[in-house]
Structure 1
Amino acid sequence: MSAGAAGTLASENSVGGAKPYLKRKKSSLGETKIAVLGAEGVGKSALSVRFITKRFIGEYDQSTESKYKYRTIVDGEEMAFEVLDTRSVNEDCGVREDVLRWADGYVLVYSMISRKSFVMLQEVQKKVEEFRKGASIPIVVIGNKADLAHMRQVTQEEGQTFAETLGCPFLEVSASEDVTNVTEAFHSLCREIVDYKRRSRTFFERVFGAFGKEKVSS
């Protein structure tokens, strides 16, 4: 674990169905819940574990879904991460109602060497938007397996354009070789989530603050 990390690393596993640990509970500015979504085999588990432990593990049990808890420092502030490494069931890319309701933000992952995974990711984004009813959603798009660029099926420009349509950050990374950019991807999403929470909090404070003043004045 890096020098900037603090606290505990823990994981929970599930084999599918409604998950007790995915019950939605409002998170504070110092907490962030991230769901990693994408097709089977794109490297969701490798990315999640690389971010949390700084180690690369090549093989994972794809029949399970894991949630990791991790505390680290982002921009000088301690942040408590919960990272859900989703399982893709029948090519749903982990996009299920309990997952979408639970998360504060989403890492959308495709493999640079699989055009199918990139096309599927665009369907993932549509499902996320439909569930969140068009609300602004903290997202980061990751093109994984940059170490296999000679086998590339998705250009960097395509990934960048897709992210620009969502108004979100985009990174090409290698979970096996590139811990710095993997970490930056998760930290970037964390910043988006914190900013979103602050803007939402300010909005509700304005609305309910004004409502409260009207009640007092009456």
Structure 2
Amino acid sequence: MSSGAAGTLGGENSVGGGSTLKPYLKRKKSSLGETKIAVLGAEGVGKSALSVRFITKRFIGEYDQSTENKYKYRTVVDGEEMAFEVLDTRSLNEDCGAREDVLRWADGYVLVYSMICRKSYLMLQEVQKKVEEFRKGTSIPIVVIGNKADLAHMRQVTHEEGQTFAESLGCPFLEVSASEDVTNVTEAFHSLCREIVDFKRRSRTFFERVFGAFGKEKVTS
């Protein structure tokens, strides 16, 4: 674990089947020191491996894909302590986990595809549409990850395609290996954290400016 980081792995399992996540995904406004991240992608792309690799620095190859888990983790990013909540989503009917309650809950999204599965890459195009429709034009922090870089000899998605997709979203892009590359996995989540903090600061400044103006008008009227 990196210097200054203190991590704990605490999962909160959702109920299986087609049930909703709403009982434990109640949306609460998070502070600058809190970051809620939803990991989205097709089944088998390595969402769980990436999430647990980031939180514990360990690689586990096999997971139960019938459940969703929410992990809590505290660490230091750029000298500031951050409280992460990472939702490892389950893909139901190829929705990549991009359901309304998930999209509402998260401060930002990790979009994951497998470099050795072109279908998983193409499915993210639909996720992009869902996010844009739900957010109604509001920008949202995102990072795109091409996982399984250790199997690059079986690649079905070029680096340029991943980069172009990320550029269309205006977000960072990394190719990583959850099994071999803890440094880049960590950097992907930290990069999204920075995007989220910057987004919150800009949003807060905007509202302070707007409501501050209303307050002045009220006082001077």
- Measured on the aligned residues, the alpha-carbon RMSD in Å equals 0.9
Select the residue among 98, 103, 124 that pairs with 1:100.
103
Cα distance, 1:104 vs. partner? 0.1
Overall identity of the aligned pairs, in %: 93
Cα distance, 1:8 vs. partner? 3.7
TM-score, length basis structure 1: 0.97
Deviations 1:80-104 (CA, angstroms, capped at 9, x unpaired)? 0000000000111001110000000
Contact 1:2 1:54 in 2 (8 A): no
Contact 1:72 1:79 in 2 (8 A): yes
TM-score, length basis structure 2: 0.96
Contact 1:107 1:141 in 2 (8 A): yes
Deviations 1:84-132 (CA, angstroms, capped at 9, x unpaired)? 0000001110011100000000000000000000000111011011100
Contact 2:8 2:74 in 1 (8 A): yes
Equivalents in 1 of 2:2, 2:50: separation in Å?
Answer: 16
Equivalents in 2 of 1:22, 1:4: separation in Å?
Answer: 29
Contact 1:36 1:85 in 2 (8 A): yes
Aligned in 2, Cα 1:7/1:62: closer, same or farther, shift over 3 Å? closer
Cα distance, 1:20 vs. partner? 1.5
Deviations 1:148-183 (CA, angstroms, capped at 9, x unpaired)? 000000000000000011110000000000000000
* Structure 2 unmatched runs, 5+: 16-21
Cα distance, 1:47 vs. partner? 0.2
Structure 1 stretches of at least 4 aligned residues deviating more than 4 Å after TM superposition: none
Task: Tell whether 2:10 aligns with 1:7.
Answer: no
* Structure 1 unmatched runs, 5+: none
